[in-house]
Amino acid sequence: MRCSNCGVCCTETEMLLAEEDIDRLVNRGFSKRFFVKFSREGYAQLKNSEGHCVFYDVKKRLCNVYVDRPSGCRLYPVMIDENKGIVLDEICLSRNTITEAEKSVKGRRVIRLLERIDGEAARRRS
């Protein structure tokens, strides 16, 4: 994929976080309170600040943690639609740079990631 750094995907993000994502960013020196919010259902999500992901630099149009960004960000714009299966997010301006092969590989990774995140959320609820 050739990202255009438009920031659309970083606007009002609802990106789910796996425990390994949280650990990676905490090890980088960030407090969980700074970047994680937990839903009542136990899901961890990236926080927003002023309408964007807390790690997105609006002026520079860059992610401040790009090398350590969450797994879901790495797989974006590939996502799962409950009715259609593996799809590309329509809001992504660079979605046309994803090949079918890349979409398929990333789609399988998204499924595994969501299964892991579901399991982690279930453990937090219990």
Domain presence at residue 2: no
Residue 100: predicted pLDDT: 95
Bigger pLDDT: 126 vs 43:
43
Could you give the CA distance from residue 29 to residue 8 in angstroms, rounded to a whole number?
Answer: 26
Domain presence at residue 45: yes
Grade residue 59 by pLDDT with cuts at 50, 70 and 90. Answer: very high
**Mean pLDDT to the nearest integer, 32-49:** 97
Q: State which residues form the domain around 115.
A: 8-125
Residue 50 backbone class (left: φ over 0; alpha: ψ -120 to 50; beta: rest): left
Residue 119: predicted pLDDT: 98
What is the model's pTM?
Answer: 0.92
Find, among 73, 71, 100, the residue nearest to 87 by Cα: 100
Residue 113: predicted pLDDT: 98
Residue 75: predicted pLDDT: 97
Strand pairing category for 48-49 and 44-46 = unpaired
Find, among 111, 47, 103, the residue nearest to 77 by Cα: 103
In 10 A of CB 41, how many CB atoms?
A: 10
Domain presence at residue 76: yes
How many distinct structural domains can be found in the chain? 1
Instruction: Give, in order, the Cα–Cα distances in Å from 91 to each of 18, 24, 76, 77.
Output: 23, 27, 11, 9
Bigger pLDDT: 2 vs 94:
94
Using one digit for the tens of pLDDT, what is the confidence trace for 65-101? 999 999 999 999 999 999 999 999 999 999 999 999 9
Grade residue 1 by pLDDT with cuts at 50, 70 and 90. Answer: confident
Domain presence at residue 1: no
Domain presence at residue 3: no
